[in-house]
Amino acid sequence: MDPDYLPFHPDPTKPEYRPPPGAVDAHCHVFGPAARFPYAPERKYTPCDAPRESLFALRDHLGFSRNVIVQATCHGRDNAALVDALQSAGDRARGVAAVGPDVGQTELEALHAAGVRGVRFNFVKRLVDATPREVFLRIADRIAAMGWHIVVYFEASDLADLVPFLRTLPTIVVVDHMGRPDVAKGVDHPDFQRFVRLLADHDHFWTKVSCPERLSLTGPNYDDVLPFAKTLVQRFPDRVLWGTDWPHPNMKSHMPDDGVLVDVIPRIAPEIASQQALMVDNPMRLYWASSKSE
């Protein structure tokens, strides 16, 4: 399979907004390089290689201190590229892995030592074949015992069906990309309000106010996505995370300039206190509460 989406931006601008000291890019990926870390045979897309060196250079260029690297479906349950990046980053990265229900305890402990603090459950139909919910629950029990949390990725249209299941998960649950709202419907639409209610009713639900580039119908500067992110930052200031989503897998319409994405931050979190929570305090609490060896 040839790469089937746009390559990441070769030369992102320097953002005007300076993230606070210690800022965390809490959603990004490493892909390959395929020669060293081959993509999973069962993958639904083949990304462009996006090696750790490029991620760390972007981190420094954008003014961030740390990364949370999330296992993407194109690497399946082979977390080798993720672990390699975590080890090379020292204390400056944590990870979210993909594991099966029968993952060995030794493997879980090795992932923990590398800096993994969560697993991702992917429900997006274009990205994965469906996993039975009892399998997810078995994984959840395994990783809850490690003190990890669960990151979930789904489309807004699947939320109503998923809510009863999500409520049964035994750990903190972080929802990727605001639950992928249909921004054409507006924040007052019952679909987005259902998502807001999920967070309002359950304080172990968090979300990433990320991916304006995926959700926007208008493109940069992503004005149509701002009300969604602002609502969540305002209502749940201590349960929101922000990430670039570099290298933006499967983006076909446009490839975002990561500097422009960083300049969205003060528009969704206008106060210094909310920026500090979003960029530093929340991700540090979730991912850096323990050192790698604990």
Residues of this chain that bind ligand 0GY (CB under 6 A): 72-74, 122, 127, 153, 176, 245, 249-250
H helix or E strand, kind and range, residue 240? strand 240-241
The nearer residue to ligand 0GY, 49 or 176, going by C-beta atoms, is 176
Question: What does the buried/exposed string (b/e) look like for 246-283 if buried means 16 or more CB atoms within 10 Å of the residue's CB?
Answer: bbbbbbeeebbbbbbbbbbbbbbbeeeebbbbbbbbbb
The first and second tokens of residue 125, run together, are 């139909």
Consecutive H or E run containing 69: strand 66-70
For the bound state, the minimum distance from the C-beta of residue 67 to ligand 0GY, rounded and expressed in Å, comes to 13
Dist. CA 109–CA 86, nearest whole Å: 14
Q: How far is the CB of 188 from ligand 0GY (least distance, A)?
A: 25
Sign of CA dihedral 186, 161, 134, 146: positive
d(CA 44, CA 237): 35
Q: Nearest distance from residue 75's CB to ligand 0GY, in Å?
A: 8
Q: Which is nearer to ligand 0GY, 9 or 274 (CB)?
A: 9
Task: Tell me how far, at minimum, the Cβ of 79 lies from ligand 0GY, in Å.
Answer: 13
What contacts 197, CB < 8 A, 6 or more positions away? none
Active-site residue, from 245, 257, 258, 281: 245
Strands, E assignment, 103-163: 116-122, 149-153
Closer of 122 and 231 to ligand 0GY (Cβ): 122
Closer of 77 and 194 to ligand 0GY (Cβ): 77
User: Is 245 a known active-site residue?
Assistant: yes
Active site residues: 245
